[in-house]
Each structure stands twice: as structure tokens, then as C-alpha cells.
A = this chain, B = another copy of it.
Amino acid sequence: LLCGQTHTVVTAREVPRRTQAERRRATRQALIDAALVRMEGGESFDNISLRSVAKAAGVVPTAFYRHFATMDELGLALVEESFRTLRAMLRQAREEGLPPHQMIRGSVETLVGFVGNNRPHFMFVARGRASDNTMLRRAIRAEIRVFTNELAMDLGRLPVLADLATDDLQMVAALLVNAMISTVDAILDTPPDDTHAIDEIRQLAEKQLRLVMLGVPRWRPVRPA
């Protein structure tokens, strides 16, 4: 706060030094980001090595262990970050509050937009879903289940679905999530600039969601609650 001093020490301090905690956080994030960049190219988490992640993050392989005990732990960090994005997507779709006849179009639009803007996150989840790393696969599927439950709760607020039993809501949500997942797969397999192909994927998704919703008013549970 006392300005105008000439000590070089003070001048150096004007460019604030990073604290250890800041450096630590920055490196950790660099490792996470490095892994995500590798996802973007279409690789799966299984096939990226600790050494390659460290290299891309600009640290020596052994530095990795200061942040994660194993690659599995890094994987969990990626799961957390990716599903933060997916939850944001759900929130945006919810907050748009479109009327029913525009809701499907709007939701698909939101989905396509999020995939385009967060390719690495979606790539990680799409590939990791069928990973042969049991821990990672379980973690991702558990998060998808949570995501499906949140969607089921949102659906329950819609008039057309208001009188469905809880597990029927979950069943419908799961069906919609399946359609979304295959839509995401299709988008990720398409070059982002092929707007024509993306548009066809969008239309197919809209049709599928519409068809499912058409069945809902006629749905009667096998065992009435």
C-alpha cells in the first residue's frame, strides 16, 4: 500500500508471485485439461497414458503423483467436470420454459449446442460409458442414472406426464436419455462443420422424442398404483 518505493524486492512483488496453493491448483487443472484435449481427438480415456497426460500438461511424469494417486483418480475428476456440464445443459433446458409444442425442438437444440461447445466432455462420457475400466464405467453409468432421475423429476412437472407413477416417469426418462445418447454418439461421429448431417441428426432426434411423447397419454401401468 505504500507506493513509490524503489526496492527491487517491492517491484518484483508488484507482479504477484503465485502461492504454492495456486500453482498446485493450476497444475491439477492442466492435467485435467490435457486429458480432455486428448479426448477431443476421439481417443478413449483407457488408451491415454499417465506419461502422455503429464507431457501435455507440461510437467514431468512423476509430478502427476502429486495430484492423483492413479489414472483412475484423474478419471473421476473428469467424470465430475463432465457431468457439471451435463447438469448445466439440463438446467438451461428447464429454464427456457418453452410451451409443450416447442419444448422438444428447444431441448434438442440445447443438446446439439452443448455437444458442439463441449465436445471433449461429451466424448469422454460417450467413450467412457463402454470403457473396460470397471470403476470408470460404473462411475459414468451411476452419473447417467442420476441425470435420468433429474430428468424424470422435470418431466413430472409437465401436465401431460403429471399422473404417471414415479417408476413410469423413470422409464420414460430412460427412454429419452437413450435417444439423447445415440444422438450424441451420432454428432460426435460427424465433423462439426458438416451442418447438413448435423441437421439430419437433429431432425431424427426430434421425431424420436415426439413419438415417445405421443405414446405417453395412452400409457396405463400394468399394475395400477
Q: Is A141 among interface residues, defined by CB-CB distance under 8 A?
A: yes
Nearest chain B CB to A166 CB, angstrom units = 13
A172 contacts across to B, CB distance below 8 A? 211
A212 to B174 alpha-carbon distance, docked (Å): 12
Closest B residue, CB atoms, query A213: B215
Q: Is A47 among interface residues, defined by CB-CB distance under 8 A?
A: yes
Please tell me if the beta carbons of B211 and A130 are within 8 angstroms of each other in the complex: no
Closest B residue, CB atoms, query A141: B189
A137 contacts across to B, CB distance below 8 A? 189
Q: Is A13 among interface residues, defined by CB-CB distance under 8 A?
A: no
Please tell me if the beta carbons of A43 and B141 are within 8 angstroms of each other in the complex: no
Please tell me if the beta carbons of A219 and B211 are within 8 angstroms of each other in the complex: yes
* Top-9 shortest CB links A-B: A215-B215, A214-B215, A130-B130, A44-B132, A178-B178, A214-B218, A211-B215, A43-B132, A178-B182
- Beyond A171-B207, A215-B218: 16 further Cβ-contacts under 8 Å? A42-B132, A44-B132, A46-B46, A46-B47, A47-B47, A126-B130, A127-B130, A127-B132, A129-B130, A172-B211, A175-B212, A211-B215, A211-B216, A213-B215, A214-B219, A215-B215
